[in-house]
Structure 1
Amino acid sequence: MARHHSQPVVDLASLLETARAAHGEGAWARAEKQYKAILARDPRHVEALHLFGLLHYQTGRSAQALRYLAEALKGGIPSADLWSDHGLVLYALGRADEALASFDAALALAPDDPDLLSKRGVACLHLGRLQEALGAFDQALAREPAHVDALGNRGNAMLKLNEPEQAIASYDAAIRIKGATARLLTNRAHALKRLDRLDEALADLQQALAIEPNFAEAAFERGMVQLALGDFENGWASYERRWETGAFAEHRRNFSSPQWTGRQSLSGRTILLHAEQGFGDTIQFVRYAPLVQRLGATVVLEVQPELVRLMARVPGVDRVVARGSKLAAFDFHCPLMSLPLAFKTTAATVPASIPYIDLDDASMAEWAKRLPAGNPRVGFCWAGKAGHRNDINRSIPLARFAALLDRPDIDFVNLRVGLSDDERAILSTRANVLDYSAQLTDFDDTAGLIKQLDLVVSVDTSVVHLAGALGVPAVVMLPFAADFRWLRTGGTSAWYPGMSLLRQPRLKDWDSVIDAARDLLAELTTYRVFTAVPAIVLK
């Protein structure tokens, strides 16, 4: 007679404790095996599902983690920890709005938990709900004043709210508690940059890199500080680290052909120069194309679709393709903003042969027919794309900028496209404002219009780069601690010798800049001289 052996009774509680211990020790493989054993016997074991999901998250498998955590949420009454981890994984997957809902569900169960309040603040910060974020961080700190994450992220919220001094205070508080970390020092340096305290920012970044030599964000930030200080030799090399940062890594092009660094021969070779950032960056750095071609290369230029027609007019470019189009074979490639490094550009060797974009007579003649004759024509632009990381400082609300337009003896020409209804309403009340924005289908159209102007007055956006490349006199209204390309001081630019830079003398002070621009317009219209715009340094 055959014997029947019963299955051994498995103590799931003991197995879970063993799995927990392995998990806590970082023995991922052993913990995973034990969680699987538990779930094989009880597929709805809430705690095992929760911890197994957390293990997947910790080992870089967020999509699978979410599946296990979602199953755990179905199994009875979820804990605050489970909701919190569910939110953490959603946030890692880029689903900040859903993560916020999970953090709120956790807070409903544990309303005074400072970790949850801090996580809620991070999600709000990502969603641009800055006051909510600040409120959450302040609530966390009211419960735990030494909560380092809340302090650091409170600094980040203050920076986004354009309060760099308060941001620095939060970073300093976190550093006093935890000690200096590469991340805190880098964020502090960014706030110092906003205040034009570049020497202090550079010291913080050097310290950050001493702590964590491979921290790309610190190296990239250091590059921008060095460039702003005029240290091109070190700055362009550090700027190359941008491709390792979170903001740039996903946009890095993984071509099979190597990047040209300036050391390889280009004679008889084809090189792809490709745009990488904004329209203005493309217009500014395409000036290197003729230099590349002179090395014997066939130059293919890949740019944003809105720039294709215009870029076909750049000397040194053999072929232009729109980003997203199929590319023919090439031997080398180079991002446009890596060309200064490849050519070892210094402040004294900036290629500034202006103009470097030439329009044909037909395109200019078309605009000449449309524009009225008589008064001086001044193009203007008050804002760039809202998504720019420093748009809060570089753009001016139209209602404030409009003080410049109070001159009936000037025909002001709007150069901004994509106007809101409110902006159209403001412009429509001014008889001396001409708005052709609906007819500007791409930058080639805008270039034709700009060539018919006597002067361009604009904030730091693609319009000023286009005017500069075309050799049209321009006045650039710069925020305090302007972008690195404009350096730290001075009323002129090595990149565009005919340009006048009006810099804010202090953070948020547009009134001084607007007053100076208004006085400049009065002087220029009195003497009808637009080809030599004077440099003005505001005090």
Structure 2
Amino acid sequence: MGAKTNLQAALAKHMAGDLRGAEALYRDMIRRYPRAPETRHAHGNLGAIHLVEGRLEHAEQSLRAALRLAPNDPGVLGNLGLALRGRGRLDEAVSCHRKALNGAPTSANALNNLGVSLTERGDTEEAIACFERLLGLTPDAPDALFNLSVAFERANRLEEAARHYGKVLDRAPGHLGALNNLGNTLGELGAVDEALECYGRALSLDPENADAHWNRALTRLLLGDFANGWREFEWRWKAPVMQGQRRRFDQPAWNGGPLTGRTILLHAEQGLGDTLQFLRFVPLLRDAGATRVLLEVQPPLLSLLRASPAVEGVEVIPRSPDFPGGSNLPPFDLHAPLMSLPLLLNRSHPAAPDTPLLRASEAATRIWTDRLTAAAPSARIRCGLVWAGRREHANDRRRSLPLAALAPLRELAGVQWVSLQVGPAVADLASWSDAPFDASPFLTDFAATAAALASLDLVVTVDTAVAHLAGSLGRPTWVLLPFAPDWRWMLGRADSPWYPTARLFRQSRLGDWSGPVSEVAGELQRLADGRGAPQSSVSACAIASCNGAST
């Protein structure tokens, strides 16, 4: 059998869906005919099999081997771009898709793949141009219209996104992605009742659609419907985005039954702020008679929580290195995700703590107080602001704000600014005329950050883990919220049922931070002038994003 005949046999198996048979023939061809012209197709098609089966590293190897034989093959370049995008290497993916499009300027696949990679990289305006060009070639393609809608949504052009999702549904009424995303977009526009209708329509078509259930749960929690929200929140474990955090232990999950004589493992999930927020439910299991309560948390929280009064009598342990596995965990009988506790404990409303959940080291707090006093002995108030969260967060483009938007705060008299910002946004401080005290070199974990916060008068923060840390410490905490906030901050209220010392400052218009920033500036100046006091007796404040963490 020659190379050409071998390739034809492999292609026949490939087209018939016999991927194992095709793979064997492609590999045999590569071994027997390494220099034959047809061998580039064997490499490329083997890469395509790896790609469709999710073996992205092997796909990249095979596709690069094909490109060494045919450097400008648009199909191979496109598949390599998909493999690289799947591995999170978006710059390389965009480069591959550009080369593929140069070789096939009217290729719908090349245009679509480039647009998707640009969207994921955040280059939404160029992505929109790609999809509009694609729709000029294929005007009735619902998927191209859907991807254009996604790009509009990522670009914060929400009215256009909603309109285009509507067009997708006009052409494909059963498009579940469009129904889910239209619901999300309407929610971001403040039309929460219409958002619930979209999720309901999606579930009428597919009752097992995990994304629709989870989105509806989050909307119900946002509206304060905790009883129904917690129940539907359990669908998160069937959502694709959560599969990387799902624990698959041999021991059974706790169903809310008696714990007497049992050891239960509680495991943190999602963000660091989520862990801090749901910490309040842990003592209830200790008090329910469990012989031993293990609390597995993310490593940055370990030393802080081990000293927490909220988990006295609970064994706080670090997340297993092979997470979501559990190779290093102590023996246990039952397990439960931390964010499932309200449902399992039948708590239909948030449980506001009577006393702070967390406690900072007194010795470390004194060091911070002395440090800040030495830096600005005449300051009347030491105050701050979190302006940026972790950039990888799905909603960071809405919850974070540019430091330039906080210009009104720079002019306040009598205020010492203390920056707790870490990560890339620390560089933004160079734009401030009077440089704040940069605390980031001292912030080695959340215990260190807690000591800094405990030495401050007030914390002003966007929605990151620092809001939960400050609130759990019982510190006066002012939270700047986007027009469509995360579910935990609810709607239409200036306080939080989760944190008694929190005060919420909300956007009144989508994407416009001027209103809440102006309100914060006025209130802060009033405090600095001695015409008021924060909500609890404390002694300083910070510009902060705690260790780059986010909820």
TM-score range for the pair, normalised by the shorter chain length: 0.7 to 0.9
Once residues 331 and 29 of structure 2 are traced to their aligned partners in structure 1, the CA distance between those partners, rounded to angstroms, is 54
Once residues 14 and 427 of structure 1 are traced to their aligned partners in structure 2, the CA distance between those partners, rounded to angstroms, is 67
* Alpha-carbon contact 2:222-2:490 (below 8 Å) kept: yes
Once residues 88 and 367 of structure 1 are traced to their aligned partners in structure 2, the CA distance between those partners, rounded to angstroms, is 49
Which AA in structure 2 matches 1:350?
A
Residue 480 (1) aligns with residue 476 (2): no
Map of 1:172 onto structure 2: 166
Map of 1:3 onto structure 2: none
* Alpha-carbon contact 2:51-2:83 (below 8 Å) kept: yes
Structure 1 residues 51, 457: closer, same or farther in 2, change over 3 A? Answer: closer
Map of 1:158 onto structure 2: 152
Once residues 527 and 327 of structure 1 are traced to their aligned partners in structure 2, the CA distance between those partners, rounded to angstroms, is 53
Map of 2:227 onto structure 1: 233
Correspondent of 1:333 among 328, 332, 335:
335
Map of 2:533 onto structure 1: 529
Correspondent of 2:319 among 316, 323, 335:
323
TM-score (norm 2): 0.84
Once residues 11 and 368 of structure 1 are traced to their aligned partners in structure 2, the CA distance between those partners, rounded to angstroms, is 77
Map of 2:297 onto structure 1: 303
SS at match of 2:355: coil
Structure 1 residues 245, 306: closer, same or farther in 2, change over 3 A? Answer: same
SS at match of 1:262: coil
Q: How much has 1:20 moved relative to structure 2? A: 5.9
Which AA in structure 1 matches 2:286?
Q
Moved more, 175-184 or 36-45: 36-45
Map of 2:325 onto structure 1: none
5 Å-filtered alignment, 1:240-279, equals 240-263=234-257, 265-279=258-272
Q: How much has 1:511 moved relative to structure 2? A: 0.7
Correspondent of 1:285 among 254, 275, 278:
278
Which AA in structure 1 matches 2:370?
K
Q: For 1:353-403, what per-residue CA distance to the aligned partner results, in whole angstroms no more than 9, with x for missing partners?
A: 331213454343333333326613323222222222111111121222131
Once residues 2 and 340 of structure 2 are traced to their aligned partners in structure 1, the CA distance between those partners, rounded to angstroms, is 62
Residue 506 (1) aligns with residue 499 (2): no
Q: How much has 1:209 moved relative to structure 2? A: 2.1
TM-score (norm 1): 0.85
SS at match of 2:265: strand
Unaligned runs of 5+ in 1: 1-8, 534-539
| Aligned sequence identity (%) | 37
Once residues 532 and 62 of structure 1 are traced to their aligned partners in structure 2, the CA distance between those partners, rounded to angstroms, is 53
Correspondent of 1:490 among 483, 490, 493:
493
Q: For 1:186-231, what per-residue CA distance to the aligned partner results, in whole angstroms no more than 9, with x for missing partners?
A: 1222211211211111111121222223322222222111111111
SS at match of 2:183: helix
Q: How much has 1:27 moved relative to structure 2? A: 6.2
Structure 1 residues 322, 61: closer, same or farther in 2, change over 3 A? Answer: closer
Map of 1:5 onto structure 2: none
* Alpha-carbon contact 1:468-1:498 (below 8 Å) kept: yes
* Alpha-carbon contact 2:78-2:96 (below 8 Å) kept: yes
SS at match of 1:281: helix
Once residues 75 and 405 of structure 1 are traced to their aligned partners in structure 2, the CA distance between those partners, rounded to angstroms, is 59
Q: For 1:403-458, what per-residue CA distance to the aligned partner results, in whole angstroms no more than 9, with x for missing partners?
A: 1232222333333234656433244615xx44433323222222223223232222
Map of 1:388 onto structure 2: 393
Residue 471 (1) aligns with residue 474 (2): yes
Once residues 418 and 62 of structure 2 are traced to their aligned partners in structure 1, the CA distance between those partners, rounded to angstroms, is 58
* Alpha-carbon contact 2:72-2:99 (below 8 Å) kept: no
Once residues 61 and 385 of structure 1 are traced to their aligned partners in structure 2, the CA distance between those partners, rounded to angstroms, is 29
Map of 1:429 onto structure 2: 434
Unaligned runs of 5+ in 2: 322-327, 538-551
Map of 1:353 onto structure 2: 354
Moved more, 193-202 or 88-97: 88-97
Q: How much has 1:91 moved relative to structure 2? A: 4.1
* Alpha-carbon contact 1:114-1:139 (below 8 Å) kept: no
Q: For 1:245-291, what per-residue CA distance to the aligned partner results, in whole angstroms no more than 9, with x for missing partners?
A: 3322112233333332423x222322222222222222111111211
Once residues 172 and 100 of structure 1 are traced to their aligned partners in structure 2, the CA distance between those partners, rounded to angstroms, is 29
Q: For 1:28-57, what per-residue CA distance to the aligned partner results, in whole angstroms no more than 9, with x for missing partners?
A: 677778878988986753556655654554
* Alpha-carbon contact 1:115-1:140 (below 8 Å) kept: no
Residue 409 (1) aligns with residue 389 (2): no
Which AA in structure 2 matches 1:165?
E
* Alpha-carbon contact 1:379-1:450 (below 8 Å) kept: no
Once residues 56 and 383 of structure 1 are traced to their aligned partners in structure 2, the CA distance between those partners, rounded to angstroms, is 38
Greater gyration radius: 1
Which AA in structure 2 matches 1:484?
W
* Alpha-carbon contact 1:140-1:147 (below 8 Å) kept: no
5 Å-filtered alignment, 1:175-186, equals 175-186=169-180
Map of 1:536 onto structure 2: none
Q: How much has 1:329 moved relative to structure 2? A: 1.7
* Alpha-carbon contact 2:475-2:536 (below 8 Å) kept: no
Moved more, 63-72 or 150-159: 63-72
Aligned CA RMSD, in angstroms, stands at 3.2
Once residues 423 and 33 of structure 2 are traced to their aligned partners in structure 1, the CA distance between those partners, rounded to angstroms, is 58
Q: How much has 1:530 moved relative to structure 2? A: 1.9
* Alpha-carbon contact 2:443-2:449 (below 8 Å) kept: yes
Q: Larger relative CO (CA 8 A, sep 6+): 1 or 2?
A: 2
Q: How many residues align?
A: 520
Correspondent of 1:111 among 102, 105, 118:
105
Structure 1 residues 54, 465: closer, same or farther in 2, change over 3 A? Answer: closer
Once residues 14 and 424 of structure 2 are traced to their aligned partners in structure 1, the CA distance between those partners, rounded to angstroms, is 55
Which AA in structure 1 matches 2:381?
P
5 Å-filtered alignment, 1:14-163, equals 16=8, 26=17, 44=36, 45-46=38-39, 50-51=44-45, 53-55=47-49, 57-58=51-52, 69-70=63-64, 72-73=66-67, 79-92=73-86, 94-163=88-157
